[in-house]
Amino acid sequence: MTEIQRTNIENNNASAWSIPLKLSETANQNYFDQSKAREKYCAHWLRTQSKTVRKSVALASIAGIVNGLGVIVQAALLAFILQGVIMDHVPLQQLLTPFLSLLAVFLLRGLCVYQQQIWGFEAGAQVRTQVRTSIGEKLIILGPAYLKQHQSGELAAINLEQVEALENYYVRYCPQQIIVSVLPIIMIAVVMPINWVVGLIFLVTGPLVPLFMALVGLGAASANRNQFLVMTRMNGYFLDRLQGLSTLKLFGQAWQELENINQVADDFRVKTMQVLRIAFLSSAVLEFFSAVAVALVAVYVGLGLLGKMPFGPASDIRLQEAVFVLLLAPEFFMPLRQLATYYHDRAAALGAADAILTILDQPEEQAQSCNASSDCLIEFIHVSKQYGQRQVLSDINLQINSGEKIALVGESGAGKTTVFNLLLGFEGATEGLVLLNGQPINRTLAAQTIAWVGQNSSIFQGSIHGNIALANPEATEQQIMQAANAAGVKEFTASLADGLQTLVGERGFGLSGGQVQRIALARAFLKQADIVLLDEPSANLDAANIEKLMDVIDALFKDKTVIIASHDPAVIQ
């Protein structure tokens, strides 16, 4: 199978396995119980991300294996020293070399632990960066229309908390998988020649730990996803209420919403405790099995030292051998127990990956090829647009020539903003074609050709000068001043102490609606685009300010193609 075929199959599977972000906790649990396809797809995606950090994961694994080998050497040195001191009465001076070797092993193990954490952290940081970059690029491709359909708090939670949940999968779980596949086998190989009974105990009881780890953790991925679902909804709910706090206060509902937020937070607490319950249950089960195995070794060796165990090599076991296998017994289970603990990092990563993939797997609008039917600047050819079952535009045919002034007239909800979204490339037509200069419209082409002023223009925290220059960061000071003067911005900044350098708050805090619109118009003028889209420019303005605003628009865009969406008779005239 070629790489291209494999990629196509994976893309098709991604579409088939996509599930909505709004899935309820019960439906989510049922989905994971009934089908493992989505979980396998998420696991495959996690492994795909690990390819870019393979070196860091490998180095962390090697450090962990070297640390485990140090444990074997450390146990052997301690057993040798105790045999010499207790049984052979060797003078301490003769044990100086083993003591120094033991000190060197301690230092080596400390260095290995340190480097394992460093390399693991590098892997986690690199994956977080590349996933956040992928999410950012995907959201840019999907555009503002997609963002409006989702709560910003939910999207922020996915990009922050859920991407963070991927870290421990690469920092701890992936290296530990490699360590467990190597280190226990080495320990069994070392113990077998010394005491084959203890080696057999290791060989039989060792696989029980990962077996029960998998059994207990079957519902861990679903439980973690439930927790993430509640967390993202809590973030979205809280941010929405915070943004509308003034409205809630005006209607006297602030305290009621505070109780609702407390309820949502309590639901999140319940889901978190369910995840912790699974973690504690699995830890208790695994600790029990490892403790029983270590106890078996201790009883067998102890009875052998007392001469009460005639079976196997225990009948003539030496103190050195007994101490060595006793010290090694808990260390044999340590990597397995750590893997069981880190298994919950895998479950958390699966739950997080599922939410992340609901964004990354969103289909993109595909550009369509066509032959231009005319030489007009903008053309709609049998364009229809629907959202789910709701038809907004139906079989629209429209031609606009360069330099024309067009008013899109209709009541609220008639589809004026949808036409603008199609022109800006924010959305794609359900049917038909939207052409710009004879080419199918896309965001790149629209960004180069079109300037846009919305009915609620975004003014960012900073200076008025900086907000105008946003349209063209390379514009000269003279060009910025010209745009500010032409749009009438300097009329109201002349009375301000800092003029155009006056700082404003988020969303234009400290400015009137008319002043915000003038800044937005100056920004559009500075772009010097061939086409200007004005979406309800008179919204929230009185008659006097509407007249002033239209005079500004006439002066600014006299030689441009202007399309205004409005239901205001004065603007249409």
Tens of pLDDT, residues 416-472:
888 888 888 877 788 888 888 878 887 778 888 888 887 777 788 888 888 888 888
Q: Are 173 and 395 in contact (CB under 8 A)?
A: no
Phi then psi dihedrals of residue 294, to 5 deg: -65, -40
Task: Summarize the confidence of residues 1-21 as an average pLDDT.
Answer: 40
Q: Say if residue 119's pLDDT is above 80.
A: yes
Report the C-alpha gap between 546 and 450 in whole angstroms. Answer: 23
Task: Summarize the confidence of residues 503-517 as an average pLDDT.
Answer: 76
Q: Say if residue 2's pLDDT is above 50.
A: no
pLDDT, position 502: 83
Best mean pLDDT range from 186-190, 303-307, 389-393, 498-502:
186-190
Q: Are 457 and 518 in contact (CB under 8 A)?
A: no
pLDDT digits (tens, 9 = 90+) for 38-77: 777 888 888 888 888 889 999 999 999 999 999 999 999 9
pLDDT, position 9: 36
Phi then psi dihedrals of residue 149, to 5 deg: -85, -5
> What contacts 208, CB < 8 A, 6 or more positions away?
289
Report the C-alpha gap between 340 and 342 in whole angstroms. Answer: 5
Phi then psi dihedrals of residue 522, to 5 deg: -60, -40
* DSSP per-residue codes, 146-184: HHHTS-HHHHHHIIIIIHHTTHHIIIIIHHHHHHHHHHH
Instruction: Extract the tokens encoding 346.
Output: 């895998």
Q: Say if residue 319's pLDDT is above 80.
A: yes
Instruction: Extract the tokens encoding 487.
Output: 């749009």
Q: Say if residue 367's pLDDT is above 60.
A: no
Q: Are 443 and 449 in contact (CB under 8 A)?
A: no
**Between 524 and 178, the higher pLDDT residue:** 178
pLDDT, position 13: 42
pLDDT, position 4: 36
* DSSP per-residue codes, 490-546: HHHHTTSTTGGG-EE-GGGTTS-HHHHHHHHHHHHHHHT-SEEEEESTTTT--HHHH
Report the C-alpha gap between 464 and 286 in whole angstroms. Answer: 63
Report the C-alpha gap between 315 and 311 in whole angstroms. Answer: 7
Q: Say if residue 150's pLDDT is above 80.
A: no
pLDDT, position 409: 84
* DSSP per-residue codes, 69-107: HHHHHHHHHHHHHHIIIIIS---GGGGHHHHHHHHHHHH
pLDDT, position 113: 92
Task: Identify the band that residue 14 occupies on the pLDDT scale cut at 50, 70 and 90.
Answer: very low
pLDDT, position 194: 87
pLDDT, position 5: 39
pLDDT digits (tens, 9 = 90+) for 444-453: 788 888 888 8
Q: Say if residue 252's pLDDT is above 70.
A: yes
Report the C-alpha gap between 559 and 404 in whole angstroms. Answer: 9
Q: Are 398 and 380 in contact (CB under 8 A)?
A: yes
Q: How far apart are the first and last CA of the chain?
A: 64
For the chain, what percentages of helix, strand and coil (3-state, to nearest 5) are there?
A: 70, 10, 20
Side chain identity at 335, as an amino acid letter? P
> What contacts 185, CB < 8 A, 6 or more positions away?
none
Report the C-alpha gap between 413 and 418 in whole angstroms. Answer: 9
Hey, what's the torsion of the CAs at 253, 256, 262, 268, to 10 degrees? -80
Phi then psi dihedrals of residue 504, to 5 deg: -125, 160
Mean pLDDT across the chain? 78
Burial of residue 306 (number of CB atoms within 10 Å: 0-12, 13-18, 19+): exposed
Task: Summarize the confidence of residues 207-236 as an average pLDDT.
Answer: 67
Quick count: other Cβ atoms within 10 Å of Cβ 257? 18
pLDDT, position 100: 92
Say how far residue 106 (Cα) sits from the centre of its chain.
39
pLDDT, position 186: 92
Task: Summarize the confidence of residues 180-187 as an average pLDDT.
Answer: 90
pLDDT, position 59: 92
pLDDT, position 1: 37
pLDDT, position 365: 60
Q: Are 41 and 14 in contact (CB under 8 A)?
A: yes
Report the C-alpha gap between 570 and 318 in whole angstroms. Answer: 103
Per-residue CA distances from 354 to 43, 139, 389 (Å): 9, 17, 27
pLDDT, position 61: 92
| CA neighbours closer than 13 Å in the CB half-sphere of residue 177 | 13
Q: Are strands 390-400 and 561-566 parallel, antiparallel or unpaired?
A: unpaired
Find the angle CA(270)-CA(272)-CA(275) to the nearest 5 degrees.
115
Question: Residue 476 has what DSSP assignment?
Answer: -
3-state secondary structure of 462: strand
Q: Are 370 and 207 in contact (CB under 8 A)?
A: no
Percent of all residues in the chain with a pLDDT value above 90, rounded to a whole number: 7
β strands within 350-457, DSSP E: 378-387, 390-400, 405-409, 431-436, 439-440, 450-453
Report the C-alpha gap between 89 and 126 in whole angstroms. Answer: 55
Per-residue CA distances from 344 to 122, 172, 211, 260, 340 (Å): 21, 11, 14, 31, 8
Q: Say if residue 196's pLDDT is above 90.
A: no
